[in-house]
């Protein structure tokens, strides 16, 4: 009869935890929505939040607003309006952050779908009002078709940047 090493279950658990960390999994935060308070609106698609995990910069998944604070880049058409709309939606409020498969971008920012306390999808609202275009970056494309439909509708209705920015259709 073979004898089983009593350390084996512990070693298996340790190996599984190591593999999870290498894959980017952090217990308690992988794909579970997180509640956070918005402490600053950076621009139309980026905020700074405070939660039990600390203070983090959050980049909205699936959308891109014109640049207003990017270094060495002039303020783009509709950037300030997009930033003000984002501010009106979330500044000082508690929001829910829902993550895609990839939780951080190359700059270390959290990537999230953002919803207000009353369930408004902020990312979708910015697209719907013509303050943002869609931006698909795999693997975070869960809402891409929904956002694409909203963008087409905003473009057809000449909402927001679609009405005033000459380069909007590029």
Max CA separation in the chain (angstroms) = 80
Q: Which residues contact 46 (CB under 8 A, 6 or more apart)?
A: 57, 58, 59, 60, 109
Q: Tell me, what's the pLDDT at 58?
A: 98
How many Cα atoms occupy the beta-carbon half-sphere of 81 within 13 Å?
16
pLDDT over 70 percentage in the chain:
81
For the chain, what percent of residues have pLDDT higher than 90? 72
What's the burial of 86, exposed, middle or buried (CB within 10 Å: 0-12/13-18/19+)? buried
Give the three-class secondary structure for 88.
Answer: helix
Residue 109 a catalytic site member: yes
Give tens-digit pLDDT for 126-164: 999 999 999 999 999 999 999 999 999 999 999 999 999
Q: Which residue has the tokens 């209705």?
A: 157
The more confidently predicted of residues 115 and 17 is 115
Is residue 59 part of the annotated active site? The answer reads yes
Has residue 167 got a pLDDT over 60?
Answer: yes
> What mean pLDDT do residues 41-49 have?
98
* Residue-wise pLDDT tens digits, 66-87: 998 888 888 899 999 999 999 9
- What is the structure's pLDDT at 5? 59
67 among known catalytic residues: yes
Catalytic residue among 50, 67, 136, 149: 67
Which of 56, 109, 128, 143 is the catalytic position? 109
Structure tokens at 26: 């952090």
| pLDDT value at residue 10 | 55
Beta carbons of 60 and 114 less than 8 angstroms apart: yes
- Selected catalytic residue, list 56, 59, 128, 143: 59
Q: Which position has the token pair 């279950």?
A: 9
Average pLDDT (15-36) is 57
- Kindly report the pTM of this predicted structure: 0.81
**Could you give all domains of the chain from N- to C-terminal order, each with its CATH number?**
30-164 (2.40.50.90)
CB 80 within 8 A of CB 28: no
């Amino acid at each position: 009869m073979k004898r089983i090493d009593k350390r084996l279950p512990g070693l298996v658990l340790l190996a599984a935890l190591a593999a999870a960390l290498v894959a980017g999994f952090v217990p308690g935060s992988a794909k579970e929505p997180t509640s956070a308070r918005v402490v600053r609106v950076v621009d139309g698609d980026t905020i700074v939040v405070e939660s039990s995990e600390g203070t983090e910069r959050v980049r909205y998944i699936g959308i891109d607003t014109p640049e207003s604070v990017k270094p060495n880049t002039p303020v783009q058409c509709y950037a300030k309006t997009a930033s003000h709309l984002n501010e009106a939606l979330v500044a000082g409020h508690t929001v829910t952050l829902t993550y895609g498969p990839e939780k951080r971008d190359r700059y270390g920012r959290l990537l999230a779908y953002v919803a207000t306390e009353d369930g408004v999808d902020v990312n979708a609202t910015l697209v719907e009002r013509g303050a943002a275009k869609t931006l698909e970056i795999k693997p975070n494309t869960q809402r891409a078709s929904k956002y694409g439909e909203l963008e087409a509708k905003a473009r057809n209705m000449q909402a927001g940047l679609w009405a005033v920015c000459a380069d909007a259709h590029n």
